[in-house]
Homo-oligomer: A and B are copies of this chain.
Amino acid sequence: MAGNTFGTLFRVTTFGESHGAGIGVVIDGCPAGLELAESDIQPDLDRRRPGQSEITTQRNEVDQVEILSGVFEGKTTGAPVAMWVKNKDQRSQDYDKIAGEFRASHADYTYQAKYGHRDPRGGGRSSARETAARVMAGSVAKKILKQAGVQVDAFVSQVGDIKLDKPLDKLEMSLREENPVRCPEPVAAQKMVALIEEVRDAGDTIGGCVTGWIRGCPVGLGEPVFDRLHADLGKAMLSINAVKGFDFGSGFEGIGMKGSEHNDEFFEKDGRVQTKTNYSGGIQGGISNGMDIYFRVAFKPVSTLLKEHKGRHDPCVLPRAVPVVEAMAALVLVDHWLGNRLSPL
């Protein structure tokens, strides 16, 4: 019930606080026989770490992953895969003054009310630093999925009012990592960066959207009733700090459509059942239909104001949230990919 575990078959349990010994994760249910090394995980951790660019926080944490168990001679054994990153900075002085106050729109008040005792250093368990654990687990999931032909990507599609409006099939994912905002469309990226710089210079913060995009997903992932693929994706995304909304396929924008426009008609091509349009976002009846899966994740502007903590926080968390969105999507997919082995007889 305490909610630090995610997934059913590929079960991920995270632990650690912002200013404790480190941030870790245990994966129970990682199948045996996967080649796995720290080098599979480090790149995503690097995409998540602070201090990457001028538009992120200037704190410089080098998060170095260590695999603690579950791997022997470079391959998983079926035993739990534990990984962690040690915290470099366990000092607590900077945060001492906040121990007694409730910062607006932070978790300080609710944690205090719920538990009666909390770790105030850097937000303790409520710090976005916890997402480092998710990214480690997600990299393992992504590696499994890649072997199964599934490509999981995320990118920044909106910052404040600046929207990326190109259709998915016109996007070039290789361009995404070439700008600090992780938007695969250079013109929009430039505008987003400018807006973030402006907000940063005003000591403020800004929100936006990350879009998730999954290609190559086989038909049949997801369960019909409560554990629909998109319901699990939604929960996964909403569990990320600062997320306020999720939609997939036609989403909130499909509300105004008529049923006769919205239906995705089936046709067969190259021996594969496909749909002409994809308002369904690749999921029908809670189960993947083989088309691209896509969804939007809405992030609020984060609460820690830079006015008070110059350079120590992100004016816009979205670029660093991209690997977290990918990680959580991968965890959901690998869970259902395993689940799909269980039926039929």
Contact = CB atoms under 8 A, between A and B. Distances in A.
Contacts of A289: 109-110, 113
Interface stretch (A53-61, A183-191, A237-245): A237-245
B15 A82 contact: yes
A97 interface: no
A278 to B, nearest CB: 10
Interface in A63-92: 66, 68-70, 72, 75-82, 84
Contacts of A113: 219-220, 273, 287, 289
A14 interface: yes
A104 B33 contact: no
Contacts of A180: none
A150 interface: no
Most buried by B among A20, A68, A81, A343: A343
Nearest to A301: B259
A160 B107 CA distance: 36
Interface string A229-262: 0111011101100001111111110111111111
Most buried by B among A11, A245, A341: A245
B343 A125 contact: no
A67 to B, nearest CB: 8
A339 B11 CA distance: 14
Size bracket, chain A contacts: 35 or more
Nearest to A207: B255
A301 B116 contact: no
Nearest to A208: B255
Nearest to A161: B256
B255 A115 contact: no
A255 B68 contact: no
A333 interface: no
A174 interface: no
Contacts of A299: 255
A246 to B, nearest CB: 6
A267 to B, nearest CB: 10
A310 interface: no
5 contacts: A1-B223, A76-B117, A110-B288, A245-B247, A255-B299
Interface of A: 1-6, 8-9, 11, 13-17, 20-22, 24, 26, 28-34, 66, 68-70, 72, 75-82, 84, 102, 104-111, 113-119, 121, 124-126, 130, 144, 147, 158, 160-161, 199, 202, 204-209, 219-220, 222-228, 230-232, 234-236, 238-239, 244-252, 254-266, 273, 275, 279-281, 284-289, 296, 298-305, 307, 338-345
Given A3-B224, A205-B260, 11 more contacts: A2-B30, A4-B26, A4-B79, A29-B342, A31-B342, A78-B344, A126-B285, A209-B252, A244-B248, A257-B300, A263-B305
